[in-house]
Structure 1
Amino acid sequence: MSIEQKIVDSVSSLAQIMLDKQALLATAESCTGGMMAQVVTDLPGSSVWFDRGFVTYSNAAKQQLLDVNAVTLAQSGAVSQACVTEMVAGALRFSDADYVVACSGIAGPGGGSPDKPVGTVWLAWGRRQGGKRARIITKVFHFEGNRQAVRQQTTLAGLKGLIGLVNN
């Protein structure tokens, strides 16, 4: 099965779960450039369970739209556990979503370093608990392939992580 079909299947599964829970989703994306929001909104009827997407490609956008701390970006970088954690917290704060997925990574072909090679992606998932508090889970991935492959793998991993979080 192609990765495109896996993404479509994951969106369908996520949609049913979100509808059953009457929950809302938001995305906070960097390296995917809005791909997660796109695949979700490709599904007719997604407006019932998809609230909004934040595409925060630049560090300035992460700060302005999601309130990511400048110190976090300076000390840890955009491709870090700390950054995606703050992206989830900001997306929950500035949306009506019950669940959020955030990603920041290096899709390539350039931009990598020995510490963070191309294909390094941090993902975070959050669930609103009791008002504005959140439960946030993070994970680092090391994807292979070209820019498109890294972005698609990030999208699929983000969706699968959401399914796991929403099911718990």
Structure 2
Amino acid sequence: MQNISDASLQEKIIQVAETLNKKHLMLATAESCTGGWVAKCCTDLAGSSSWFERGFVTYSNQAKHEQLGVKLASLDQYGAVSQLVAEEMAIGTLRHSKADISVSLTGIAGPGGGTENKPVGTVWIAWASQIDKVSSQLFQFDGDRESVRRQAVLAALSGIIKNARD
């Protein structure tokens, strides 16, 4: 799953748009390791204002706390790259937007920053909806920084479709 082209991302975002428009849902994003790439893919599509509400880029722990309400205790105890923080980011995104559903990404894209417990390529993605449904998934992507980030974006977009349909 390493070689993800711009065309693959564009194809997936068209599916996201169709799904969200059909369900009359608005999306908001919260991104750390992808630096706004999911939001960029969303807004690359003309007319995305009918389904894309806003995006947060919360790279630092302080930004995650201030903009999304991620608990400092969660960040201290589990680290930014954790299931709890990803889920708090997704929930906070909904609380700080007018969106119906959200996605959040937090991970280690590399080349540095990895540890034995959280190697480079570790990415947590969470999806939340206003009906109090939160799901998350741990991914271990391979490749360089660009590849890890592309894989994370594609996984996030695929999850938006799945969660919007459920």
Same fold (TM over 0.5): yes
Report how far residue 167 of structure 1 moved.
1.1
What amino acid is aligned across from residue 8 of structure 1 in structure 2? Answer: Q
Provide the C-alpha distance between the structure 1 equivalents of 2:31 and 2:95, rounded to a whole number of angstroms.
15
> Which 5+ residue runs of structure 2 have no aligned equivalent?
none
SS of the residue 1:57 aligns to: coil
Equivalence for 2:152: 154
Equivalence for 1:110: 112
> Which 5+ residue runs of structure 1 have no aligned equivalent?
none
Instruction: Write the mapping of 1:14-53 to structure 2, written as runs, cut at 5 A.
Output: 14-53=16-55
Equivalence for 2:94: 92
What amino acid is aligned across from residue 154 of structure 1 in structure 2? Answer: A
Equivalence for 1:138: 136
Please list the CA deviations of residues 53-75 of structure 1 after superposition, one character each: whole Å capped at 9, or x if unmatched.
00000000000000000000000
Report how far residue 3 of structure 1 moved.
3.0
SS of the residue 1:139 aligns to: strand
Provide the C-alpha distance between the structure 2 equivalents of 1:16 and 1:161, rounded to a whole number of angstroms.
14
What amino acid is aligned across from residue 141 of structure 1 in structure 2? Answer: F
SS of the residue 2:128 aligns to: strand
The 8 Å contact of residues 4 and 147 in structure 2, kept in 1 or not, is answered as no
Total equivalences in the alignment: 164
Equivalence for 2:71: 69
TM-score of the pair, normalised by structure 1: 0.95
Provide the C-alpha distance between the structure 2 equivalents of 1:143 and 1:13, rounded to a whole number of angstroms.
23
Report how far residue 10 of structure 1 moved.
0.9
Provide the C-alpha distance between the structure 2 equivalents of 1:22 and 1:139, rounded to a whole number of angstroms.
25
The 8 Å contact of residues 110 and 120 in structure 2, kept in 1 or not, is answered as yes
